[in-house]
Structure 1
């Protein structure tokens, strides 16, 4: 099994290699802009590190796919960004953006590794995961150093282990209800962090495009994200837990083009896909009926807006096709 020269890529390996290439390639342009727009040398250095790690990943992905005879995604180019544009976001938000990006990277690379079997592919994904861990560590360290890392709350320490004794533990609508457990709290905060990042990003994007259809699409997207933030925040209020603040004040008043319409819509479409994945993961650890209902409802709403963004991209031929199975009909 170790002779990769005689073993074809599995669908799982191909899917994550190809999709990972597309994500990394698009990320380069966002990382480049935010590196240029930051006036904080610590943040600039962090973005330089992220860019170099992403380039290294891209080169290896390209080599593997090329050797296997698969076409490389075209992606984006220099015309999709304007490095001379003034900052669209503050340093605080750009650091928060990288924090969320590092988290999503950890999720993606760990799943890629879990679905790989060929020796060289496994080794590659291990390297990617190591790079993602290093980036995450550096981002968190800088957030802590600057005093802007928002920790989730601490909880009282139980005296002894305790079994669930009543089925009312599952309740959430009527009768005896309970506060959220630590897993439910952890995943809820993770969802809120992603929603906060998306709200700010889409709101900033609206300022820099003149395309009315895209403005309407962004307005609809940010409306859904804000509503979900408000709905999920209510669960924290009920348990008297702190609500993470939004970053809406971290957008500058610049209206100059920073990114092309295509790369902006593509990025938001991808983030809605990540939001769907996060909802699905979070749903797996929920035991409260009201939280299950909230997640299930928001999964449907997120799926609808995600499909709308995808259709928009397809109609303009802005979306590349992921390699798939051959129709035998």
Structure 2
């Protein structure tokens, strides 16, 4: 894929290649099971396309790039971690919504990967990932719209002339009475709440199918954390007379049979909570409303505390692989 005289991978390139491999390896098993469970043929076809893209376009080339530079590829998971022959844990509706949110998170990840890359072959690879992901995003969105399953955020009144911010109205976003939310605050708030709703449904389903009481309790706590944050953000929307987005609670079936291993589920929840913290941090950067600042700070704090707990669980069970990092010079000197 690259010439023998090209430079080694940078830390940025390695970080996105290695982490992306771990993420895509994990997601491929969920796509396999969802594809097996989907009854709607159009949704099943989209899941199959996503799975083929993950395995052929993304994973194979990632592993080649890592192996060519003599980096160990993440161990990943095995067929025993995902049982597609059992009853479905989620409805077709949820699986399509899951695919939509997951592919959009992937687009952000691939775009950041491309922006951080320097080596020509790595840039070419990440550009291919972005292009393939964009095509799938369009197909998924069209399917959601055609099936009447896409929830549109509200339209806002149009303004014929530009308006300059007056000092008093601007500062009301930070001090005193809170002003109505502006369009970018609403866009990021709805995006965050959609991810919160997805995580809640995943935690609910995982809690009722876990083989370990301790891990099941951890999933139940995760569901409570995101539900509390969703309710707080709903209150902020209602104060601006904005609609609240739907949740996915009803899309979890009553199945209690084992579908995914505890390791596969715990790793996934750790990953989506990481995405949630990233989304909250990004949203915080565009906020001009003091109530939203408090909401996002609370979300980052609560999600961070839960992430620490689930990471400890992964470490205790020896389920967590180590990301390649800088040399520990102090450890070398002490030997």
The verdict on a shared fold, with TM-score over 0.5 as the criterion, is: yes
Q: Which residue of 2 aligns with 1:14?
A: 14
Checking the alignment, whether the CA contact within 8 Å between 2:178 and 2:291 is kept in structure 1 is no
Q: Which residue of 2 aligns with 1:28?
A: 28
Structure 1 residues 272-299: Cα deviation after superposition (integer angstroms, max 9, x where no partner): 0000000000001001111111111211
Checking the alignment, whether the CA contact within 8 Å between 1:170 and 1:289 is kept in structure 2 is no
Instruction: Quote the offset at 1:174 in angstroms.
Output: 5.3
Q: Which residue of 1 aligns with 2:328?
A: 327
Instruction: Quote the offset at 1:92 in angstroms.
Output: 0.6
Q: Which residue of 1 aligns with 2:306?
A: 305
Aligned runs of 1:182-197 on 2, under 5 Å? Answer: 182-197=183-198
Q: Which residue of 2 aligns with 1:65?
A: 66
Checking the alignment, whether the CA contact within 8 Å between 1:150 and 1:244 is kept in structure 2 is yes
If the length of structure 2 is used for normalisation, what is the TM-score? Answer: 0.95
Checking the alignment, whether the CA contact within 8 Å between 1:169 and 1:288 is kept in structure 2 is no
Distance 2:176 2:26 in 1: 49
| Superposition RMSD in Å | 1.3
5+ long unaligned stretches in structure 1: none
Structure 1 residues 194-237: Cα deviation after superposition (integer angstroms, max 9, x where no partner): 01111111101111113111011011111001000000111110
Q: Which residue of 2 aligns with 1:275?
A: 276
5+ long unaligned stretches in structure 2: 331-335
Distance 1:111 1:167, change over 3 A: farther
Distance 1:315 1:199 in 2: 24
Structure 1 residues 109-160: Cα deviation after superposition (integer angstroms, max 9, x where no partner): 0000010010000010000011111111111110001001001110001121
Aligned runs of 1:203-222 on 2, under 5 Å? Answer: 203-222=204-223
Aligned runs of 1:165-244 on 2, under 5 Å? Answer: 165-172=166-173, 175-244=176-245
Distance 1:4 1:193 in 2: 45
Distance 2:177 2:210 in 1: 50
Paired residue secondary structure (2:154): coil
Distance 1:285 1:52 in 2: 36
Q: Are positions 1:50 and 2:50 aligned together? A: yes
Q: Which residue of 2 aligns with 1:262?
A: 263
Aligned length: 328
Q: Which is further off, 203-212 or 168-177?
A: 168-177
